Structure formats: C-alpha cells, structure tokens
Amino acid sequence: MPHSRWQVLPPLTPGSIPQTAAGSPFLYQLLHNRGLTDPSQFSSFLAADEGLQNNPLLLPDMPWALRRLYQGLLRGESIAIYGDFDVDGIAATALLVEGLTSVGGKVIPYIPHRLSEGYGLTAAALEELRRKGISLVITVDCGITAHAEIRQARKLGLDVIITDHHSVPAELPPAMACVNPRRPDSGYPFPELTGVGVAFKLLQALHQALGRPEALSRFGDLIALGTVADMAPLLGENRFLVKHGLELLNHTQRPGLQELIRCSGLMPGRIDAEAISWILGPRLNAAGRLAHALLSYNLLVAESAEAGQRLAQELERYNAERQRLTDKVWTAAREQAMAQSGAKLILAADEDFPPGVVGIVAGKLVEEYYRPSLVVERGKKMSRGSARSIPEFDIVAALAECRRWLTRFGGHPLAAGFTLPTENLPRLHQRLLEMAETKLAGLDLRPQLFIDAEIPLSRLDGRMYQEIQQLAPFGYGNPVPTFLSRRVQVTSYHALGNQSSHLELRLREGNIAWRGVGFGLGDLRGEVSPYLDIVYNLGVDDWTGTLQLNILDFAPSVT
C-alpha cells in the first residue's frame, strides 16, 4: 500500500466564524471542510431531514414519464421493470415492482444475466418481454446509452421510460422519457442520485399525484442499500435518504434482509453505511457476479422467514465463492501489473478471468498502484472488462474517445464497463495508455489524503467523538473526519491479523496514551520509527467499546 499525499485543509481563523454559527468552532471547521460555507445550511445538514428533499417534478422528462405510467396503470397494462444486476439496480427494481404493485399495477421484474446477457438493455430481452404481453418497460439504473435497443423496442410496439443516473451521451435515446438528473438540461438541484434514488423519485411523483405520499416511507431500507453500495456521495438529498433508510434498515420488516443481517453477523441497531459497503452490499452483489441477480432480488422481496433464510444462506455460499475467485484473479492480475512497472495505466487480461469479479480486482489494482486499471475477461471473439480509475483520469471520457473499437460501454468517471471484439483489445490498450501518459504526465501519482485539522492527541476525548458523530452517516463525499498529530511517541508496535496485514501501535504524547490500529498497513511496519507524524480517524474498538485511533498513514517525524 503506497503512502498518501497529505493535504491539511486550511484552518479557519476565529474572526471568520460568524457569531450566529451553531455549534463549536471545531464543528464549524468540519462542516466548512465538507463544502458548507453558509451557516444557514448547517442545521439541515446536521438534521438530515426532509428539508434536503427536492421536488421530483424538477427531474427532466418526469411529467412525461408520470403521464405514461399513470396511463399504463389505468389501462391495466403489463409493465416490466428492467434493472441492473448490482445492488443499486436490484434495489431499484424491487422498489418499483413493490411500489407500483401497491397501487394496483401489473408489474414484473427483469434483471439480465451478467454472464449470458451482459449489462443493460438487449434486443433479445425486449423481444421476450413483448412476447409475454409487456407493453411498457421502465428501466432502472440503465438505459441512457441504449439507442439501438430503444429503436428496436419502438418497432416491437414497446414504450420505454428510462430512469438512470449514469453519464449522459450527447444524443438521448428515443424513449418516451429519459429521467436522469445528470442531463445537461436538468433543472434538478441535486445530480448525484443513484439508480434507486431516481426510481424513488418516479414513485414519489406518482404517489404525490395519487395523494398518498405517506406510503413511501417503507422503501427507505432499499434506498439506503442501493445508494451506499453504489458509492454515491452522502451529501444533499442522499444524506436524508440514507439516514432515514438506515433507521429503517436497522428495524427492517423484510424477512430476507432480517436473515441476511443475521447470517452476516451484524447486530440490528448497529448497522451503518460501512456495514452496507463491506458486509451487506458484497453479499447482495455476489449472486449477480456468479449466477443470477434475481436471487438477491427475491431475497429483498421475500415474504416469509423460511424463504429469507434459504436465500440468505445461498448468498453466503456465493459470497464465499466470490472471495475465492477474487483472490485467484487478483494474484494473476497483480503479476501482470508488476510486469507493467512505470506505466501510467494498467491492463490485465486473461481468458480465465470470471467477468463477475473483474471490477473488484480492477479496484484493488487502483488501491495498490494508484493508476487507472482495466481487468478483462478475454474471449476468443469478444471480451468484457471493467475499469476503475483515479480522480485525475476520467475513464468514461477516455472510453468515449475509443468508441470505434468498442461494442458498448458506460459508467462513471471512476468506474466503467465495456465490451469489445478481442482483436481490438491491443488497440484499445495502446490508445488508453497514450492518453494516460499524456494526461498524467508530471503528476504525483499517489492517493491524496485530505486532513480536516492538525491537532494534538491531548485534544481527543469522548466529547469530540460525540461531536464528530453529528456528521454521520459517513461515506463517499462525507468521509469520517481525519486528523494529523505530529511527533507522537511510539512505545511499542506489532503486526495483527491474518498474514500480519494490520499494524497495532501504542502511542504516547506527554501523559496521554492511545492505542492505534492501521488496517492494511502491516507491510509498512518496517518504517515505524520512535516518533511519528500520524494521520487518523477517531473510532471505537468493537471489542472493548473504548476510543482508539484508526491510523490511515504515518511518516517519521522531522526533528
């Protein structure tokens, strides 16, 4: 794991803090560091209440989508919800199927098979839905780049409403409506909704039109799952959706989620965004990576404890297999990466790479090398891959410049998927490498670690921890506050965990002693010196319930 570039955010002077600002100067600094410069924003951020929500009718094409959906419900049409196979898409599918069924809709789910169908709309799937009597298809978390497929749907007599949140192409597909907060012509105040967030806004608009908005509160657990698992920034409207959703998730009435929580060893009442990211999300994703995502969908909508238990146990088995395959592919991909030493972009490809784990491995390559990374299942004729990137290199924009070699692609600036003829793979690699060499030339390619404040260890106490917790839920866009303390004495240290992957340090500053744990920093134990500058979060030891320092990085102190 490489050391990071430390950037201490500018401290506010006492004179710059308004007299009317609520809370302490320390809390004001943390809020300011998260982009809240107007004190009038503080109360709504800290409360994370409904005041952060926006009018769904402000989303582009929402009136058209609402009109066509209302028409379909009145006519008793058969409606299909066409979702993606990740947690965001699965949760969005469950939300719309349940929400529309509750108002009398005739609704079925359709989630493509990752291995046999691939991402997004396909002509074959649309033809199958038409044969089943479907006349209206609503996409969730996909569809915004499906020009050919939408044209095919129109020929089949299928109307399509697109709800999506991915990057928008220059030309929109010819659907009945394209509801996407990222559209350049969007008047929606918050563009960072996830697929499940956009689906929820469609359902919210419908329920408001029907005069029953109170019926929406039961979907919060699904929204929290999809929003956190998709790494959306937990700011603005997402902050309200996730905070409310976590409250519901901790007391969920869904038998499938109850069983999944039990099987994964989580405690109801203590489930936070981190638990979704590292425990629940990977399990819900496992089915779509190795088999069919409908297994996870069925768990979310299960109506009995017996069904929930069976499905949760299946997900546990798939997740264990996913971990085994990830380790195997990671070993092979890392060997290929080491052979590309010095390159500004990494590509690892093999015919034995399962497509369900290539995205995970690409992310691990970015963590290890801090380079844009692509991992590809290389087929005889066609290849499929996932890309993960760094903030300095927009991978979707780069793939767009290479579209002549691609069959399809899509995603976000930091994460994308693509398919291409195998014979085009060397051309794609060469062109992306050229672009990365140009774009990243002269840059310090180490991850950047933003630090909220430089403070002595003597300032840390339980009251500060409680003040920090007012900013929860934490996640992407709203990280746990990070601090820097200089010239801290190391009284002892040793490796922890399997394969000595973690590092425990006993630290002292004057009469103040702390335990620090560096998760994943075991390889750096040879760099520990008697006095260190440390970057850390203030956390709680799960076993003892006492405060500890979660060490993110360190460096020898300069005398």
CB 521, CB 494: distance < 8 Å:
no
CA nearest to 505, candidates 497, 515, 513, 519: 515
pTM for the whole structure: 0.88
C-alpha to C-alpha distance for 198 and 185, rounded to whole angstroms: 16
Residues with Cβ within 8 Å of residue 198, at least 6 apart in sequence: 59, 92, 140, 141, 163, 164, 165, 179, 180, 181
Helices (H), 178-304: 195-210, 220-229, 236-249, 255-263, 273-275, 281-290, 294-301
CB 339, CB 414: distance < 8 Å:
no
Supply the pLDDT for residue 78.
97
For residue 67, which phi and psi values (nearest 5 degrees)? -65, -45
C-alpha to C-alpha distance for 188 and 252, rounded to whole angstroms: 30
CB atoms within 10 A of CB 203: 23
pLDDT along the chain (559 residues), means of 10: 85 73 80 84 86 94 96 96 95 97 95 83 94 96 93 95 92 96 96 97 93 78 96 93 95 96 93 95 93 95 96 96 95 96 95 92 95 96 95 95 92 90 97 96 92 92 91 92 95 84 92 91 90 94 88 91
CB 23, CB 47: distance < 8 Å:
no
Residues with Cβ within 8 Å of residue 343, at least 6 apart in sequence: 371, 433, 436
Domains with residue ranges and CATH for the chain:
56-313 (3.90.1640.30), 326-439 (3.10.310.30), 448-556 (2.40.50.460)
